[in-house]
Structure 1
Amino acid sequence: MNVTISDLLDLSHTLAGDYLRQFQYPWEALDGIKDLILSLGSQLSPEEYSQPQEHVWVHKTAVVAPTAYLGAPCIIGPETEVRHCAFIRGSALVGAHCVVGNSVELKNVILFDNVQTPHYNYVGDSILGYKSHMGAGSITSNVKSDKTLVVVKGDTAIPTGRKKMGAILGDFVEVGCNSVLNPGTILGRHSSVYPTSCVRGVIPAHSIYKDKDHIVLRQDQ
């Protein structure tokens, strides 16, 4: 069951690389995202980053719509676009060349470089790897309906000890429109999810998720 940080993520594509190297599993990093952003932000060059309010850092090449909300703490990376009515609640580290789209909500997340969340997405307590993409209306569900602690389920079950955990997307993951990634979902590198899917558990790298009974290896790997 390939669910470690090294299995899923290329750490050269995020400011959080050194921080993430401390951990074996990506969900172990979720508690420290706020403090990480505060630490990173204090070291950013004022020649490269503006600070529109306390503990909010925006690269001067980023484009932020005037209707977007940037809650502290957050970092918006180079050449990233934050579109109309995006709601960044806080504790969001957004990399370079990303898209945070219309009415998208982010909370306690790390978005690696070139991540796209372009249309009506909710991403909470999650990590999205390099060049991953959330289709329109797809969301991460980060709390179980019975409020019990999240368990990552694959070949074996790994307790996370967390009440809140959304999804971990490996590098180059594609999530189809209007899909729900249930708490504790792990999507391996280069995996794809069909539109309108309800996904839970661990999906292997280079797989296509059609439904829970039809998960097939890609033929183009």
Structure 2
Amino acid sequence: MYTINDLFDLNHTLAKEYLQQFTYPWQALAGIKQLILDLGKTLEDYEEVQEHVWVHPSAKIAPTAFLGAPCIIGPNTEVRHCAFIRGSALVGADCVVGNSVELKNVILFDHVQTPHYNYVGDSILGYYSHMGAGSITSNVKSDKTLVVMKNGKEEIKTGLKKMGAMLGDHVEVGCNSVLNPGTIIGRNTNVYPLSRVRGQVPEHTIFKSQEEIVIKEK
């Protein structure tokens, strides 16, 4: 079962100390809102553009974008036309939140790109991860039951009704893919376009389908 240390280089997020408290990444989801409220008060180089919304002066925010509280937008990040940040979003440095993208209860590490028509909810996206156009994180099961993490015979009950996806560092998700609730993708993995992904995907692999996952050639 992938741990936080397996997935992420914590030196690339303001949430480093917070995430170090946990073993598994989904354990951090419940406290993201409070994390942002606490962090915001300590940010010296940021501007509080409205209550509990902190934006670095170097960030570029489109006038049509909505920044819901609480949120933090990092240095050199671009929030594009009609982006909808519903709240509880910690967006790192040099990120792209694109046209009509919706974020809710998320941590985006530095250099994350969600550039076109993405929904990212109750998720953590690692350093330099990228979601292709139209790819989404589905965060609620169709039967509304709690998310259970499975890895072979190992099973962990998360206690969460809402859990999206955990993308390790340098993960590439192809266009129009759906990451089902509780999906975890290991570092340096590529997901083919139009994929339906569930469960855990090993690091350093190419996800072609649920039945065909191949190891990357060195």
Same fold (TM over 0.5): yes
| SS of equivalent to 1:142 | coil
Q: 2:124 aligns with which of 124, 127, 144?
A: 127
Counterpart of 1:109 in structure 2 is 106
Measured after TM superposition, the shift of residue 120 of structure 1 is: 0.2
One-letter identity of the residue aligned with 2:191: V
Counterpart of 1:23 in structure 2 is 22
Measured after TM superposition, the shift of residue 153 of structure 1 is: 2.0
Counterpart of 1:215 in structure 2 is 213
Q: How far apart are the structure 1 equivalents of 2:158 and 2:207?
A: 23
Q: 1:203 aligns with which of 194, 201, 204?
A: 201
Q: How far apart are the structure 1 equivalents of 2:185 and 2:138?
A: 14
Measured after TM superposition, the shift of residue 151 of structure 1 is: 1.1
Q: 2:175 aligns with which of 174, 177, 190?
A: 177
| SS of equivalent to 1:12 | helix
> Structure 2: 5+ residue runs without aligned partners?
none
Measured after TM superposition, the shift of residue 131 of structure 1 is: 0.2
- 1:14-163 alignment runs, 5 A limit: 14-45=13-44, 48-155=45-152, 156-163=154-161
> Structure 1: 5+ residue runs without aligned partners?
none
Q: How far apart are the structure 2 equivalents of 1:159 and 1:216?
A: 28
* Structure 2 length-normalised TM: 0.98
C-alpha offsets along residues 4-59 of structure 1, whole Å, 9 cap, x if unaligned? 001001100000000000000000000000000000000111xx211211000000
Percent identical residues: 74
Q: How far apart are the structure 1 equivalents of 2:107 and 2:21?
A: 15
Q: How far apart are the structure 2 equivalents of 1:157 and 1:213?
A: 20
C-alpha offsets along residues 79-106 of structure 1, whole Å, 9 cap, x if unaligned? 0000000000000000000000000000
Q: How far apart are the structure 2 equivalents of 1:181 and 1:94?
A: 20
C-alpha offsets along residues 128-185 of structure 1, whole Å, 9 cap, x if unaligned? 0000000000000000000000012222222111000000000000000000000000
Tell me how large the CA RMSD over aligned residues is: 0.6
| SS of equivalent to 2:72 | strand
| SS of equivalent to 1:43 | coil
C-alpha offsets along residues 200-221 of structure 1, whole Å, 9 cap, x if unaligned? 000000011000110011013x
Most deviating of 48-57 and 90-99: 48-57
